[in-house]
Each structure stands twice: as C-alpha cells, then as structure tokens.
Amino acid sequence: MRIITAMALGLTLASPLLFGQIAPEQISVETMPAPGTNWFISKTGGSARVFDAETGEMHGLLSLSDWTPAVTMWNPSKEFYAAESYFARGIRGERTDMVAIYDYDNLRPIAEVIIPNHMARLGVRAHLALLNNGRHLAVHNMNPGHSVTIVDVQDRVFVYEISTPGCAVNMAVGQNDFLQICGDGTLQLIQLDLSGFEQNRERSEMFFNVQEDAVFDRAAKTANGWLLLSHTGLLFEVSTDDDEILIEEAWNIPGAADIGWRPGGRGEFLSVHHDSGLLYVAMHEGGVDTHHDRGTEIWVVDLNSRRLLRRMEMESEVGTLLVTQEDNPKLLVQPFGGEGGGTQIYNALTFVLERSIQAPGAQMFEDF
C-alpha cells in the first residue's frame, strides 16, 4: 500500500512537467484548392464528399439534410447547389423544402431559397438539373402529381412551380430548357424565358411503349444531348434544335439480347464519356422485370461505331457508376455489398483498377 501511494504521489508531482511538453493544438481554417481535372462529388446520406480521383484524396465535405436527392456545382460561380428538406423536430414536425447554396472555397452555406414542400426526395440524379445558362435550377416534385420548381440561383429567388402531369426527370438542353420523360412514351420539352418562366412547351411523338419496354428514369448526358435506355437494352439518343425534339433511331446494346443480358440497377448505372462517345453501363443476366437487379458486369459500348468493346466482370454488384470527362478519364464504381466497401477508381480507357477510396458508400457521383 505504501509503495502504491508513493508511486501515485511521484506521478502527481511529475505530471505537470510531462503535460507541459505536449504542444497545444493549433486551430486553423483552410480553403479549398482549385479543383483538379478528375475531381468528383460522392453523395451518401446527408453528406457530399469532394474527392480527387487521381490521388484518392478527400478535399472537403458538404453537410446536407438526410432528404437531399442530389447536389450539383456550377464552376464559373464556384458554388454548389443542393435541394434539401428538413423537419422541425428531426424526423417529424413542420417540413421545410429549400435550395441551399454553398460556397466553394469554404463549403459553407451562403444562401437558402425556400421552395414549395413538394420535392421528390428520391435518390435520382436527374431530379435536379442546373440549366445550361447556369442561372436556373429545376427541382422535380411529386405531391403526388408531377411538377417542377424553378429557382433563380443568381438572384437567390423562387421563380415558380410548373405543372408537368405524367412527366418526370429533368434533362438540361439548349440554354434555358429541359426535356422530360413522360408516361405515355413521349418526351416533353419545356423552354424558359430569361426570367425563368415557361414560354413554350412541346411534345414528341410516342417512341417507346411503357408497358412492353419502358425507358429508365436514369439518363446519361452526351456531347449533344442525352442517352436514354430501355429495360431490354434499347438505346435512344435524344437532343433538341430550338423547339424541335430530335430522337434518333433506336438500337440495341450489341449482343445483350442474344445471351439474355439486360441493363439495370437501383443507382446511376450508365454514364457516357462525351469526347470519345464511350458508354459505360452495368449489366446483369435476367429476364422481364429484372430492371432493378444490379449489374454484375460493366459493358463498354462505342456509340459512334455501335460496337461492344469490353465486358468487365465485377467482384461485387454495381451500386452506382460515373465516368469523368477529361482526356484521361476515370471510371468511378461504387460496389454494392462488397467486402470493405469503398469507391473503386479505374482508368476508363485501359480498365486498370488504380485505387480504392475507403469512404461511406456513395449513392451517386457528380462530375466537376
């Protein structure tokens, strides 16, 4: 007992000297560096992380609401835009929907635009579209009818809500317009004026049968428009010319139907590299009504020659994917249910796995 007491007394007397040798932590504030060529946003739950695909380094974190369908960025203004929904008491109470605007340098919220509480809080990338002029943001609503909220992100104001019955998914075209996929097998074009109000609306002829072979609500941006994909693997390249909706003749993913393979998944499972015209799509073996089955392979299709270039067998099912848009693009793949999780980074042209980023599983990716 005496020995223990003596030792305790010795440590007590020595402790100020020991602790005095520890340098105090210095608090500092850093700002985001200029984005690199292969930077991307990885969104999961109530957060969005900014990564460099070249190095695997995380540069920042956006704290979002748990009900945020998507987040996007406008490089010229160096701002992030997120559609968010909140409840006064966490999971209950008065609901508030908004478009939150975040500063790039510090990743802090700098403005909020309150919008009608109709937002479709689903993890679909095309439910949020920043139009090509960088001024108007289109937010998809479902209440339960379909509509679109238009927000002016420059003036930080809610413009108005457009009724779009039977039509969903917002795909930016032209300077201030967007296309939608409609439940009757057509496309709808909505053109806005300079203030963000609807000035014209057009409808295409029916080009798919929603009962026999529906088009997915996941779409991939191309160099000139958008690529739509049906449950059986039919590809439709669509674009606009002023107020005219252009739909090219459909063609099948080469060889898929012959061996019983189909596209599908629950995340964003197709992406196009614009300059090369290469399509990356998650595929699985299956029949009718397997469109939600996740891909076990990633197929690479040349949209120009309409040839299948490669089939990449994956160790785990594909949760979501994205190809970046640089000369040396990266293919980002989030496995579903794989050991260790993490985002896998491939060279999109050589298909070599370069690294894995250990981070919470991404629901979707967004390219810078």
pLDDT digit string, tens, across residues 205-237: 999 999 999 999 999 999 999 999 999 999 999
Percent of the chain exceeding pLDDT 90 equals 83
pTM of the model: 0.90
CATH of the domain at 112: 2.130.10.10
Average pLDDT estimate for 164-188:
97
The predicted pLDDT at position 164 comes to 98
In a domain, 335, yes or no: no
pLDDT band at 110 (very low <50, low <70, confident <90, very high): very high
Number of domains in the chain: 1
The predicted pLDDT at position 4 comes to 44
The predicted pLDDT at position 9 comes to 42
In a domain, 333, yes or no: no
In a domain, 93, yes or no: yes
- Across 221-230, 263-272, 303-312, 339-348, least confident range: 339-348
In a domain, 128, yes or no: yes
In a domain, 236, yes or no: no
| Residue 119 domain boundaries | 65-217
In a domain, 212, yes or no: yes
In a domain, 33, yes or no: no
Spell out the SS3 assignment of the chain: CHHHHHHHHHHHHHHHHHHHCCCCCCCCCCCCCCCCCCEEEEEECCEEEEEECCCCCEEEEEECCCCCCCEEEEHHHCEEEEEEEEECCCCCCCEEEEEEEEECCCCCEEEEEEECCCECCCCCHHHEEECCCCCEEEEEEECCCEEEEEEECCCCEEEEEEECCCEEEEEEECCCEEEEEECCCCEEEEEECCCCCEEEEEECCCCCCCCCCCECCCCEECCCCEEEEECCCEEEEEEEECCEEEECCCEECCCCHHHCEEECCCCCCEEEECCCCEEEEEEEECCCCCCCCCCCEEEEEECCCCEEEEEEECCCEEEEEEECCCCCCEEEEEEECCCCCCEEEEECCCCCEEEEECCCCCCEEEEC
In a domain, 137, yes or no: yes
Beta-ladder partners of 198: 192
Angle at 80 between CA 125 and CA 273, to 5 degrees: 50
